[in-house]
Structure 1
């Protein structure tokens, strides 16, 4: 229904001369900022999904899945036929998304292998925690040859340039809990110059030895210059090593920071741990810019 509005004779004419019954039917002008509220919610939900799903997904086959520890699995994925994807892994600490057919929600996974393994061997390795009802649980139930999809490698990784050259930062303290050891493995095996530093310590926390992955690699890590300090929060009676939490027990007892200005740190794991360790280090004079995280 169209409504004809009579022209007003001069500037002082009052619009209210129109009957209220007509005014109620007049369409109100829509401000650009309120336009979205007048469009169907479903359309905007679809547009938002299109904007967010910008990942390029690459189908890749699984090379192997093996137990790594209680509830943890080694997952190797063949990226040899995807050289662009393999070469996009340039720094330890980077991660990607992995999705499975017919599963809507992808998983974010830190790459456990060093970048050199993807470049030379065409393989990405992951340490995956199987959580009931998650995409990770479904992934851990797959077998060799099953195909998954990987996004491009993302994240800034650990910016080790901030703790170089080694002679200026002889002390590097590394902290990891649970599956957070995954990108730490990538760092250590990437050769960040641990052997050139006089004091590199890894405080690795887990509930018990059954939950601690990569124990078979500790000897090699130590030979590269990293002192490994396992810390168990719920050890059995036979355990004689460090117990408690890495930030509250082992590290607090043996900080031994000789020169805060020459100290760097790398953290990955539970949020409470990373926040508490950061607070302790900063209070001791370590620059927050030298405390590296991969997120």
Structure 2
């Protein structure tokens, strides 16, 4: 390559080339062998000694093939495309400002939270099934919380309120939410999720047994289910196995009597009961495995919400006893 440049760019009778400071930048041009095979370039040696040398411009056919990585548009497209997609994704979430109606203690570390959505008909209309949830965020707090709606859909339609059972976890958005006061404004998305598809265990005469399982704050969407009405009074065996550490951690005890009157037998299960507790002890799955009493697996449905291990073990017990997996409902 060096020999080629000397032979074509500098005449043997010429003096040495001018200093680099006088040579235009385009004078030092290198070609690949493939380019030499397809291009013809004539170089005219300057006749004036020491005159600045200027190479002729490259043919356009070569310029088109020269790579310019920093200027190639395709190197920048992925970043622009990603930013555009991220913006679209962000813009699809609609946040509606809504004031807090009340915050009350429900149990140890658990709070009743009521949000006024009476001025947001779209929010109200989005809640159609028990078991649905939404996102809630606070001003100046980046991470939102996912909350199951505890109230039945009919409550929002009649009173304009969404109710939640919120567990206050240190350092979380939920903890900040539980510290708000009446009138403070939060932002909500519309209700989402498929909820509990009760149609799978209807009509009541075909599914006379419905077994319900909940632990901790997982009772929240179960409350929505029970108070929405799913024909419990038309079924012969509806049981709710509700697990908590102790009675101080068990929410909605004031609703148990109403739930029982609607046809749901409540079975509290305490993992660390206080002295004098005469009810079921241990874990929900163990209490159910001990009782079972499934008379007709084909006519049995189940609803589960709470700790993952509990949900998996209860599902395994039910399926092993002949209950169809499709009749075991969850809200996620």
TM-score by length of 2: 0.78
Instruction: State the Cα deviation string for residues 28-60 of structure 1 (Å, max 9, x = none).
Output: 7xxx9xx6xx54998677445424422100000
Q: Considering only CA atoms, is the larger Rg found in Structure 1 or Structure 2?
A: 2
Match in the other structure for 1:279 = 316
Cα deviation for residue 112 of structure 1 reads 0.1
1:179 maps to which residue? Answer: 217
Q: CA RMSD in A?
A: 2.6
| Whole-angstrom distance in 2 between the partners of 1:184 and 1:276 | 19
Match of residue 114 from structure 1? 152
2:195 matched to 1:163? no
Rounded to whole Å, the distance in 1 between the matches of 2:89 and 2:310 is 31
Q: Distance in 2 between matches of 1:99 and 1:85?
A: 15
Q: Which residue of 1 aligns with 2:62?
A: none
Matching residue of 1:269 = 306
CA separation in 2, counterparts of 1:208 and 1:41?
Answer: 54
- Which residue matches 1:259? 296
Q: Assess, with a 3 A threshold, how the Cα gap between structure 1 residues 200 and 3 changes in structure 2: closer, same or farther.
A: farther
Q: Mapping of 1:61-140 within 5 angstroms?
A: 61-140=99-178
For residues 45 and 245 of structure 1, the distance between their equivalents in structure 2, rounded to whole angstroms, comes to 47
Q: What is the SS of the residue equivalent to 2:311?
A: helix
Go from structure 1 to structure 2 and tell me whether the alpha carbon gap of 1:42 and 1:127 turns closer, same or farther (over 3 Å shift): farther
Match of 1:59 in 2: 97
* DSSP 3-state at the match of 1:67: strand
1:99 positional shift: 0.3
Using CA pairs below 8 Å that are at least 6 residues apart, which structure has the higher relative contact order? 1
Aligned twin of 1:240: 278
Q: Flag as ranges the 4+ runs of structure 1 deviating above 3 A.
A: 1-9, 25-28, 38-49
Corresponding residue SS for 2:211: strand
Match of 2:325 in 1: 288
| Separation in 2, partners of 1:7, 1:119 | 80
TM-score, L = length of structure 1:
0.87
The equivalent residue for 1:198 is 236
Describe how 1:4-43 pairs up with structure 2 within 5 A. 5-6=35-36, 8=38, 26-27=67-68, 38-39=75-76
Gaps of 5+ in 2: 1-25, 40-65
Distance, in Å, in 2 between the alignment partners of 1:222 and 1:192 is: 14
Query: 1:238–1:81: structure 2 CA closer, same or farther, 3 Å change rule?
Result: same
> Do residues 145 (structure 1) and 183 (structure 2) align?
yes
- Listed as ranges, the gaps of 5+ residues in structure 1 are 10-24
